[in-house]
Chain A
Amino acid sequence: MITSVLGVLFDGFAYGMLLFLLSVGLSVTLGMMNFVNLAHCTFAMIGGYVSVTLMNGAGWPFLATLPIAFLAAAAISVAFERTMFHRLYRASDLDQCLLTIGVVFVSVAVTAYLYGTSQQPVSLPNYLRGSLHVAGLTLGVYRIFLIVFALAVTAALVWGLEFTRFGAQIRAAVDNQRMARGLGINVDAAFAIAFALGSGLAGLGGALAIDMVGLDPSFALAYLVYVLIVVAVGGLGSIGGSFAAAMLLGISDMAGKYYFPAIGSFLIYLVMISLLMWRPSGIFGRR
């Protein structure tokens, strides 16, 4: 019994880390600029497909594709931001939703055209396959890798925010944009960089997700819902909040699927609605 609980927790934790990587960028950009970017998971999907293309088309090893996935997603997101998104920073929530959803629709169709609609195969290196037997538990090696890797990225992220000047600028802009501008911080530049970083992280998450949850063109929409839940529940602009919410969602989802398979995602939605009703700005949100 305990082993199954621990097993579920472990899987949930891995899933949560993945969700965190996918969501943290959106939380920060929403908190900074209040820009509702529903195309965030499109960048994740792009990262995934870049990784797949390099692996299957050019024979790259899996780990080597990860930084490229990050960079590709970041670069493409910057292109979108400079051409379209920046025009809508002062537009209504609805307009931002609609434009970015339009981008999602286009990306899904283009991806389906280029790659077809079936799941993309991924060839993991041998040392990432299989499972380890630890204290009576069977832990997937890939999931261990995912957890360790994501924790490292998170640590780097937190270090960057707390201990670098740029990180301080971002924190200031999230806290009070007007004041930050008044202090001479170039909020627009800070935002563009934060946006690129966040999208890059999403791309990284997309590449890492292939083995865990699969990759097909519907990824951009299917995981958008989860990402939105994490962001809304965690609180805009709060990295700690995103982390907590991602964990909560990941573990609840795994637990739900394991113990109550008949209910499906019902539990998740119920938990989200209840949490939002209790704390509309998110658990760690401001205002």
Chain B
Amino acid sequence: MTAPALATRGLDKSFGSLIVASGIELVLPPGVRYALIGPNGAGKTTLINMVTGMLQPDAGRIVLGDDDITALPPEQRVRRGLVRTFQINSLFPHLTALESVTLAVCERRRAARIWWRQLTAYGHEVDEAYEILSSLMLAAVCHRLTRELAYGQQRLLEIALALATRPKVLLLDEPAAGVPRDESAELFAAIAGLPGDITVLFIEHDMELVFRFASRVIVMVGGRILLDGTPQEIAADERVRAVYLGQAHGKAFDRARQDSHRGSHHESRHG
């Protein structure tokens, strides 16, 4: 049996008397698409912050593949293949899209220390950056400054930056947040097109995304994991409907599930 791509054991975190995480046991098998859902304040982003090293847990361990990474700083975790995107864009406003991704590629390949050779000598890195941008439909705007890109394109650039680091485990923090409807088609296609060997965990509120792309769903409430199952199991579970949606919203849940089934047949229309 292969080691899980990412696992956490007994993660705890509290701020004074506010418990934001309690006994989190997470196991992500390689290649699986996981969705992490839960009401606001459930501790989802806190969990991501702890896993990526931006926040220190009070107790518990984090294991990436075969390695215990609990003590590693964030940069080291990225180098081992654990990468995240941000819910609120965290980009380089005055770099072009191509420069941003090239930067990430150069850092990965440790070319970024070289100050005596011009960027034009780094054809491979530029090509790789361009390829990543192309796969996310950003090739046409690769020379635009990041701050001039449309919001949906900036969200895609977030993912492009993460892909440039050749992640093994990719954590997407609400990738579709704030993206207007007419730009979300490209975003969905990009997420669907992510390489199959990357393990993906995405936090989402958009149920359509969840049902379309996740093979498993984790539900977090009040700092604890409530349930871990397939989308169908989650949708049918009474506790989830009560806690997360309230009975009145159960119908919306069902509708989203049906829409996504219909939607997946029509994906080629949006491509």
- A and B in direct contact, judged by CB atoms within 8 A: no
